[in-house]
Structure 1
Amino acid sequence: MLSLSLAAAAAQAPIHFEDLGLRSYLFAFETPLGLFQLRWYSLAYLAGIIGAYVVVLKMIKAPGAPLAQRHADDLFFYCTLGVILGGRLGYATFYTGGDTGLPSLWAHPSELVKLWTGGMSFHGGLVGVLVAIAWVCWKNGLSFLRVADYVAVPVPLGMLFGRLANFVNGELWGRVAGPDVPWAIVFPGAGPLPRHPSQLYEALLEGLLLLVVMLVLFWKTKARWRPGLLVGTFAFGIALGRFVVEFFREPDAQLQTFAQQTGLSMGQWLTLPLMAVGLFFVVRALMRPALGAAPAVPVATDPA
């Protein structure tokens, strides 16, 4: 009986993050300027951008591509800037200043460039990417909506890598989990209670699942012939995934009061307009004829 009780207690013991043997960097070494660490989060950004570039190069070889490789090269460069600058400025806008308890980064411009201190906003990065796409399309006379369709397909790959890096870093943990969540984890700095690994939830929903949906739509359907359908599906899908996961994610410390007062987290409020925009483009694309579709020919009738 005693052995059974001990086995049951062991089975119910929460997982401790330290026992997973993870660390936030791949390797580290001393330099004359101090310790250098190649962090997984930096590698995640790099892998996501390069992976998206490779996928887009493969996509533009299929019939009907709205851009050439030289345009993809430009997008690779400008979208990288858009992700970094937009993500940082978005964090400064929505997650610092006001009632957040954190000094506004806008009031301290020198702090904005310190990317290594953390703080990136997905919605800000999304705006930065849209600006980059608009610039490349305007400069080269391309269709913004069709190019956005192609760029949207591999973006979940970056989300997948980014959230996995968040988990490896032991950051952005979830809310306290009940005893019915055997995979709950005790994260360092989050107190003694086990929490939802919400980073993995986001990696699965906003990353892997959405990536599969986007690739299937592109390669197995005629979605790329309906301008706006792919980018609309991406916007709605990632917003819905984020909205759901936010129920399991611990709100940012400086925004917990905001979440309690409004009933939703800042992340959830920001997903609502994105969800509406995505649904609009999906409906619009489905209601319009596909590219290359032959116009309806009126049937001639014999005069009475």
Structure 2
Amino acid sequence: MLLATLAAAAADHIHFADLGLNKVALSLGFFDIKWYSLAYIAGILVGWWYLLRLLREPGAPMSKKHADDLVFYATLGIIVGGRLGYVLFYGLDRFIQHPLDIFKLWDGGMSFHGGVIGTTLAIILMCRQQKLNWLRVHDYVACVVPFGLFFGRLANFVNGELWGKPADLPWAIVFPGAGDMARHPSQLYEAGLEGVVLFAILWFAFWRTRARYAPGKLVGIFLLGYGCFRFFVEYFREPDAQFDGTIFASFIHMGQVLCLPMIVGGIYLIATAKGRRERVEPIAGAESVA
């Protein structure tokens, strides 16, 4: 009865088709440039710029040269980790049957949680090679990640994907391929919380407190903040189709399950950061960042 009512009311809501959005940003005839690809590029470039700005402040854990190398390692970790995470967490059966589909990145399918794992491992590898404090480097990286989250969720919205549950709200949207019911634009909820709000929290912690001198505190704030925000938004987000009829659709979403270790890890890093503070040492060459 409720679904029928929502479907009948959909005519009074926003229709995605009327927004004039197109997942293709620029078509060259033989090649299409999609907003999703541009979102990744924008997140990396803006994040790189902001990272260099952070490194100008006293106590930086690495130099500009290290930051330049970090972009390569982090990008590799995002792509490899994000794709493999999606395969393992959301579509293992499909990729077992069609293993070559793993390489079809242009078809979409990236896991943020997988990207976090991949980027973490890539940064640890770089730090071991260059003898840097990997936890302090992660603190600075955590401050720039919200840029990528913001642009990525906007791209999800432009693509008309990852929509929310049915809703009868003035801003609810009828998405193509999602039936006749208006739905929560959960992509925008995530862009606001995981992008704008989380960035503001980390900005305050970095610029208005001495959190950057306590190894692990900033990354802990990021993990706790992202985990809580994502867990909350999942209540408004439609469960992934591959989990229809399972516990990951009816009781708890897969996204929420993957957030629980992030929340616990974030609390631990924040609680133990003070004990690591006295071991902070300046990095040679960090003061040369221009």
TM-score by length of 1: 0.86
- 1:232 is matched with 220
Task: Quote the offset at 1:11 in angstroms.
Answer: 11
Contact 1:12–1:182 (Cα < 8 Å) also in 2? no
Alignment of 1:8-27 (within 5 A): 13-27=12-26
Amino acid at match of 1:241: F
1:166-177 → structure 2 map (5 Å cutoff): 166-177=156-167
From 78, 84, 107, the counterpart of 2:79: 84
Question: Could you tell me which of 245, 263, 267 is aligned with 1:275?
Answer: 263
SS at match of 1:38: strand
**Which residue in the other structure is 2:273 paired with?**
285
Alpha-carbon distance in structure 2 between the residues aligned to 1:185 and 1:227: 43
Q: Which residue of 2 aligns with 1:161?
A: 151
DSSP 3-state at the match of 1:63: coil
Give, in whole Å, the separation in 2 of the partners of 1:59 and 1:113: 35
State the Cα distance separating 1:106 from its structure 2 match: 4.6
The answer to which structure has the higher helix fraction is 2
Q: Which of 95, 99, 109 pairs up with 2:99?
A: 109
Is the alpha carbon distance of 1:124 and 1:10 closer, same or farther for their aligned partners in structure 2, counting shifts above 3 Å? closer
Distance 1:62 1:233 in 2: 20
- The equivalent position to 1:96 in structure 2, one of 67, 74, 91, is 91
Cα shift at 1:292:
6.8
1:54 aligns with 2:49: yes
Deviation, structure 1 residue 74: 1.0
Could you tell me how far apart the structure 2 residues matched to 1:108 and 1:185 are? Answer: 34
**Which residue is 1:246 aligned to?**
234
Deviation digits for residues 27-85 of structure 1 (CA, Å, limit 9, x no counterpart)? 11212xxxx21110000000001111111111111100010111111110011010000
SS at match of 1:264: coil
How far apart in 2 are the matches of 1:10 and 1:244? 26
Which of 203, 206, 212 in structure 2 is aligned with 1:215?
203
Q: Does the 8 Å contact 2:10/2:182 carry over to 1?
A: no
CA distance, structure 2, for counterparts of residue 290 and residue 20 of structure 1: 54
1:30 alignment partner in structure 2: 29
Note the C-alpha offset of 1:263.
1.0
* Alignment partners' CA distance in 2, 1:292 and 1:76: 23
Please say which of residues 86-95 and 283-292 is displaced more in the overlay. 283-292
Same amino acid, percent of matched pairs: 52
Native 8 Å contact 2:243 2:249 kept in 1:
no
Structure 1 pair 231–292 and aligned structure 2 pair: CA distance change class (3 A): closer
SS at match of 2:245: helix
Show structure 1 runs of 4+ deviating over 3 A. Answer: 9-12, 106-109, 259-262, 286-293
Uncovered stretches (5+) of structure 2, i.e. residues with no partner: 1-7, 282-290
SS of aligned partner of 1:190: coil
Higher RCO, Cα 8 Å, sep 6+? 2
Give the distance between the partners of 2:40 and 2:239, measured in 1 at CA: 23
The answer to whether the 8 Å contact 1:258/1:266 transfers is no
Q: Structure 1 residues 171 and 239 mapped into 2: Cα distance closer, same or farther (>3 Å)?
A: same
| Cα separation, 1, equivalents of 2:255 and 2:159 | 20
For 1:41 and 1:11, how far apart are their aligned partners in 2? 28
State the shift of 1:289 in Å.
Answer: 4.7
Pick from 187, 190, 199: which aligns with 1:202?
A: 190
The answer to whether residue 69 in structure 2 is matched with residue 74 in structure 1 is yes
**Offset, 1:118:** 1.1
Q: Does 1:64 align with 2:63?
A: no
Task: State the TM-score, normalized to the length of structure 2.
Answer: 0.90
Counterpart of 1:154 in structure 2: which amino acid?
Answer: V
Return the alpha-carbon distance in structure 1 between the equivalents of residues 27 and 13 of structure 2: 30
* SS class of match (1:30): coil
1:136 & 1:161 partners in 2: Cα distance?
Answer: 26
CA shift, 1:159, in A, is 0.2
**Structure 1 residues 254, 261: CA separation in 2 closer, same or farther (over 3 Å shift)?**
closer
Amino acid at match of 2:226: I
**Letter matched to residue 56 of structure 2:** K
Shift of 1:117: 1.2
**Distance in 2 between residues matched to 1:274 and 1:106, nearest whole Å:** 28
Q: Deviations over 1:216-243 (max 9, x none)?
A: 1111111101111100000010011100
Give unmatched runs, 5+ long, in structure 1: 1-8, 294-304
Query: CA separation in 2, counterparts of 1:217 and 1:172?
Result: 31
